Amino acid sequence: MWFANFLVAASATMIMPFLSLYIETMGDFSEEYVQRWAGFVFGITFLTAFLMSPIWGRFADKYGYKKILVITGFGIATSIFFMGFMHSVIALFILRMFMGAVTGFIPTSLAFISSQTPKEIAGKTLGTLQTGNVTGSLFGPVIGGMMADKFGFQYTFIYTSISIAIATMIVLFAIREKRTDKKLKEKQYSRKEVLSYIFTSRDLLTIMLISLLVQIGIFSIQPLLALYVNQLNGSENVAFLAGFAFSATGFGNLLATRQWGKLGDSIGYEKVLKILLISSAIAFIPQALVNEVWQLILFRFLLGIAVGGITPSVTAYIRNEVPLSIQGEVLGYNTSFRFLGNVIGPSFGGMISGFIGISAVFYITSSLFLFAFGLLWWSMKNLKEKNTHSKLKHSFHGNTRSHSK
C-alpha cells in the first residue's frame, strides 16, 4: 500500500508544474485568461472531491475499501490519460472535474489501513503510510517537469496515467482486505444518522474543523512562495529556490511523521495534535521575518516536521473513536473538510497578500493554527468534564442502590 501511495502521489503531482503552460498551447490567450483558467482547472478537482469523498467513504463501508481503491485508481488514471489529448480549455476543465469525482485513492488507503490495523499501533502505521504519500509528492513535480521538457506534455500525461494504473494493479492483485466479523455484525447507519453522529459529537466535529483550518493555513501560502522568494532573492533562480522551499516542508514531513504517530500511540492522539498545532503556529512566524532564502527554507523544514504528524493523528483518533461500520464515511467527511480547505486556502492567502502583503499571510496562518489549538483544548476539556460528571453520577446511583439494598 505504501508503494501504491507513492506512485499515485508522485503521478498526480507530476502534471501540476505545467498545467498553465499546457493551457497556453490550446490557443492564443492573454496572460490574464491563462492565469484565471489555470486557477479554475486546478481548483475544480478539489471542489468535486469535497463533494464526493463522503460518498466513496460510505461505499467503502458497505462494499469494502479495496473495491473503492480500484475504482478511484483506474478513474484517476483514465482522466489523466485523456487530458493529454485535449485541445480545449473547457474540455480540460471537465476532465479535471471528473478526476475530482474519483479522487479518493489516498484518503481511502488511509481508511483501509486504519481498518486493518490494531488501535494500539494505528498512529505509527498510518504515519508510515503517510511517508509514501509525502515522498511521492516530493519527487512528482520534479519528475513531471523533467518529463514535460524531454517528451512533451502529451506523453507526460500518458506516462503518468500508466504509473497510476500500475499502482491500482498492485492493489488489485497484491493486497487482501479482511472484513472483520465485528464490522459485519455492527448496525448499519443511514447517511442522516452518520451526519447526526458527527454534528452531535463535539470532539469529532472539532477534529474535522481542525482539518479544515490546517489545510486553509497550508494552502494559503503555497501559491505565494515563488513571489516571496522573488522578494527575498531578486529574479535569480526563483523557480528553483521556490521549489526548494516547497520541498523543504515535505522533507520535514518525511522525517517526523512516523515518530509523531508512535508518540500518539503512547500518550494519546489529541495530546500530540495540541503539540503539533502549537509548534506549527510558532514555525510560521519567523517565516514572515526572514531576510534570506536559506532562512525561509530552514523554517519551512521545521514547519514540515510539525505539520507532517497532523493527518495521521487525526485519522488514528477517528479510528479509535468511531464505530467500525461507519469509519469510512466519517473519514470521507473529514477528507471533504480537508479538500474544502484546499479550495479556500489559495483565495484566502491571495486576498490577504493583496491587501497587506505576503508577510501578513504567515501571521494570519499562525493565528489559524493557534485558533485550532484553542478549539481542540476547549473541546477536550469539556469532554473530560462531561466524562468525569458521568462517572460521578454513575457512582452516586450505584451507592444509592447499594444502601437501599
Q: How far apart are CA 14 and CA 343, in angstroms?
A: 20
**At residue 400, does pLDDT exceed 50?**
no
The per-residue pLDDT for range 161-175, each reduced to its tens digit, is 999 999 999 999 988
Q: How far apart are CA 405 and CA 393, in angstroms?
A: 19
Q: How far apart are CA 75 and CA 59, in angstroms?
A: 16
Q: How far apart are CA 37 and CA 24, in angstroms?
A: 10
First CA to last CA distance, the chain? 58
Task: Tell the burial category of 184 from Cβ atoms under 10 Å away from its Cβ (0-12, 13-18, 19+).
Answer: exposed
Of 42-46, 265-269, 374-378, give the lowest mean pLDDT range.
42-46
Q: Let me know: does 352 contact 361? Beta carbons within 8 Å.
A: yes
**At residue 320, does pLDDT exceed 60?**
yes
Which residue ranges make up each domain of the chain? Answer: 1-175, 191-398
Q: Let me know: does 157 contact 31? Beta carbons within 8 Å.
A: no
Task: Tell the burial category of 178 from Cβ atoms under 10 Å away from its Cβ (0-12, 13-18, 19+).
Answer: exposed
Amino acid, single-letter form, for residue 249: T
Domain 191-398: CATH superfamily is MFS general substrate transporter like domains (1.20.1250.20)
Q: pLDDT class for 82, splitting at 50, 70, 90?
A: very high
pLDDT given at position 280: 93
Task: Round the CA-based radius of gyration of the chain to a whole number and report it.
Answer: 22
Q: How far apart are CA 346 and CA 142, in angstroms?
A: 22
**At residue 189, does pLDDT exceed 60?**
yes
The mean pLDDT of 207-229, rounded to a whole number, is 85
Of the candidates 362, 273, 367, the residue with the CA atom closest to the CA atom of residue 320: 273
Of 87-96, 147-156, 384-393, give the lowest mean pLDDT range.
384-393
The per-residue pLDDT for range 92-136, each reduced to its tens digit, is 999 989 988 888 787 788 778 877 888 778 778 887 887 787 777
Amino acid, single-letter form, for residue 1: M
On the CB side of 155, CA atoms within 13 Å amount to 9
Query: Global pTM?
Result: 0.75
The mean pLDDT of 48-68, rounded to a whole number, is 84
Of the candidates 221, 389, 387, 388, the residue with the CA atom closest to the CA atom of residue 304: 221
Of 6-10, 46-50, 400-404, give the lowest mean pLDDT range.
400-404
Q: Decide if 1-175 and 191-398 have a common fold.
A: yes
Q: Let me know: does 376 contact 273? Beta carbons within 8 Å.
A: yes
Domain 1-175: CATH superfamily is MFS general substrate transporter like domains (1.20.1250.20)
Residues 6+ apart with CB under 8 A from 122: 114, 261, 265, 315, 316, 319, 320
What is the average pLDDT score of the chain? 81
Please state the separation of Cα 48 from the chain's center in Å: 15
SS3 290: coil
Give the 3-state secondary structure of 60-111: HHHHCHHHHHHHHHHHHHHHHHHHCCCCCHHHHHHHHHHHHHCCCHHHHHHH
**At residue 405, does pLDDT exceed 80?**
no
The per-residue pLDDT for range 321-379, each reduced to its tens digit, is 888 778 778 888 888 888 888 888 887 887 888 888 888 889 999 999 999 999 999 88
The per-residue pLDDT for range 191-206, each reduced to its tens digit, is 788 888 888 888 888 9
pLDDT given at position 245: 78
pLDDT given at position 397: 47
pLDDT given at position 214: 92
Specify the DSSP class assigned to residue 15.
T
